[in-house]
Amino acid sequence: MAFDKEKALEMCNRFSNNTLMQTLEIVYTDAGEGFLEAKMPVNPRVHQPMGLLHGGATVALAESVGSAASLLFVNPELQEVRGIEISANHLRSKRDGVVTGTARIVHQGRSLHLWEVKITDEEGRLISLCKITNMVLPRKKS
């Protein structure tokens, strides 16, 4: 079955309603074979006390886009995704504008997915480099 970019973005943005992603104004903007992209505004809502982008907000963007990307590889009616490890190296600060998180698959196993997530600014400069591991579980029947 061919990849449907619009359907994938609609699903990711719909899943964000009433969540941290909506609070942080994260919007999924692009998708393709093996990658997913989301944008987040940088403003006082995501600053640390010195007026810079908070590392926790950056990691929240990375985990959001990396976890949502794993959903594109599973059947969400039968499987769930859980982030089990994340790491981040913050390389550059940012005060305002927009950051983009792009998750690219490194390893896609049956039960584990490993993603590299690059957080960049509007000029494509690397703000943070993150790695997230997700576990794929069978969905429990309710």
Q: Which of 25, 63, 77, 80 is catalytic?
A: 63
Q: What is the pLDDT of residue 1?
A: 60
What is the per-residue pLDDT across 3-29, written as a single tens digit (0 to 9) for each?
A: 899 999 999 999 999 999 999 999 999
Q: Is 63 a catalytic residue?
A: yes
pLDDT digits (tens, 9 = 90+) for 58-67: 999 999 999 9
Task: Mark 109-142 as b/e (b = at least 16 C-beta within 10 Å).
Answer: eeeebbbbbbbbbeeeeebbbbbbbbebeeeeee
State how far the alpha carbon of 1 is from the alpha carbons of 4, 37, 106, in Å: 9, 21, 22
